[in-house]
Structure 1
Amino acid sequence: MNNCNSNSFAKEFYLTGFPALQDFQIPLFLIFLVCYLIILIGNIIIIVVVVINEKLHKPMYFFLTNLSVLDILFTTTTIPKMLAMFLVNDKTISFHICFLQMYCFHGLTMIESLLLVVMSYDRYEAICNPFHYAIKMTKKVNILLATCAWVTPLSISIPITFQASLLTFGEKNTVYNCFCDHLAVVQAACSDFIATFQSVLGFYFAMTVSAVPFLLVILSYICIIISILKINSKVGRSKAFSTCTSHLIVVGTYYSSIAMAYVSYRADLPIDIHILGNVVFATLTPLLNPLIYTLRNKEVKCAVKKLVFLKIFSLFETKSNFMGKN
């Protein structure tokens, strides 16, 4: 029960983690540690490969590096605190850090939605307007699109987070989640009516900022599919589809995890299922993105293999030189 004295001011929040899994803290720590390492290593490899390989200096891979940077920031917002929670039972988080985490989590979520829209638009221009692609998707335009995808969500998240921070909380507050999600935090507020209003407001806001980008992605791919079907060559159609496959899988994974989180919120399910829905959303897409792009995209896969081969070759060369000197 939260201490809601009129003169009290929230000093910290208490994160419950998974209430039904309190006896499995070490296995949870190991699972999320492995996931976090895969996310970091996979996305760093993609960033390095795109930066050092001139053949990948294309708009599609420029936006892919933005997505990789985003996934690293997105998971770093939540997973390190979760690891501390599972390993050493560090479940308290200060008032200001909690709302900073909330702001970053929701802001970065919206950035991912917009980046997926921008990547869809890039594929639309490449396939539907191939002769004007180089003119439209210039370096300046790419930077402008990426900047808008980053700045707009970070600006939109400010009023929602600020409004939630003005709610009345007790000195110690229980947040039924593994991190400071908007819904879980406002439900810890002292006033049930205001907390309910804020949670409903936050839910419909999240639905809107997710649905609009999703509709734009769908619209882009309807146009793309129509253009592909007009291609006479079977090889040409296959090649056009292959350039979109990785992005389509990423979009499907992202919105599937959002749907899971929303269903767990609306359905009358145990609290652990609600928390699991949020945690899956926070980790699944960043975990799968680098795997999808390195396994499904031929150019990225070849570049990664080349990078790994060069590293192995340089290690053997260094070792042989060392042995020769001795």
Structure 2
Amino acid sequence: MPVRFVAVLTLFLMCGCTHVQLRKNTIRQSETLTDIYEQQVLDNLAMFASDPGALPFFAFPNQGGTDVSDSLGADGSLSFSSNTFTGAGLASAGGRGMSESWTLTPVYDARRLELMRAAYQQVLLNAGCATIEDGCPDNDLLLRQFYTGTVAGESIGEFTQRTGRTTPACFQQCKWFGCGSKPPKRKNSMCCKVGSHCGTYVWLLPGGQRELTKLTLVVLDFAFNDAAAAPPTPSDPPESTVNVTKYFSADGQPSTKETAHEVRTEVVPQSRVVTETGEIMNTYQLPMGMKSGLSLPPLAPANTNVLSPRGIELQQRYLQRR
């Protein structure tokens, strides 16, 4: 009986500290963000060490969840025989369920991947692990456009000194990572950061964490900064318009200015013009003496969709005066 009582008490106490376990799990899950970022950078670095012309990859968590749930159940029974107590029973059950998850969003924009590629190639050049002979794309122009907004003028180094931001100009010309077919064996291998790709491994050398942090920050900047996104698709410029005054008779038919019963002023796009036969044309041959950029009005509304030759002539004269 005392043992069962202790078991039930333990289950009750366990359910009471659910929030404590949830807090611990949430903090531990948040700590994995840095591991996710750095591991992808190291794996990419191994891929570029294997082939400097590779295409990088990167994905970042945008949603996550941590869940801790406790359950407890107990059941008791008493038994009697006549007026005599014969026994008692107690059954209990409990459990704890925990789950953690991240939802990853991949980087698929070509401009962002170009910039990441330039950063990894710059690291390999500084470490003396590769020579990049192909000048297309021009990494220097890509990076300058991203940081300064222009391909001329201020260099990336000058931009870094002026703003203090972490850019590829901060990369040291040193070999801060090892590269080979097998990572070295270390006593505390759990703390050794290693990246791999198709049999090529890279690992941090003493003091390499500082450079890995710089490279990771630069990659994150490319992944999140709006300046790295592909430029918007150019749209057609707005069409030029002119103000046109039209005159109509009492029955709604086009008329001259002298006999007009109603005057209407409309804003007319230049692409919609009306010929003397009332046909809509995309282009209009301007008569001699007309100023470039002016056009005739579009079809009149409702039952006034045909303009008389006299009305067109008057409108041309009016536009010439404007």
TM-score category (smaller protein):
under 0.3
Decide which structure has greater strand share. Answer: 2
TM-score calculated relative to the size of structure 1 = 0.24
TM-score (norm 2): 0.24
Of the two structures, which has the highest relative contact order with CA contacts closer than 8 Å and spacing of 6 or more?
1
The structure with more radius of gyration? 2
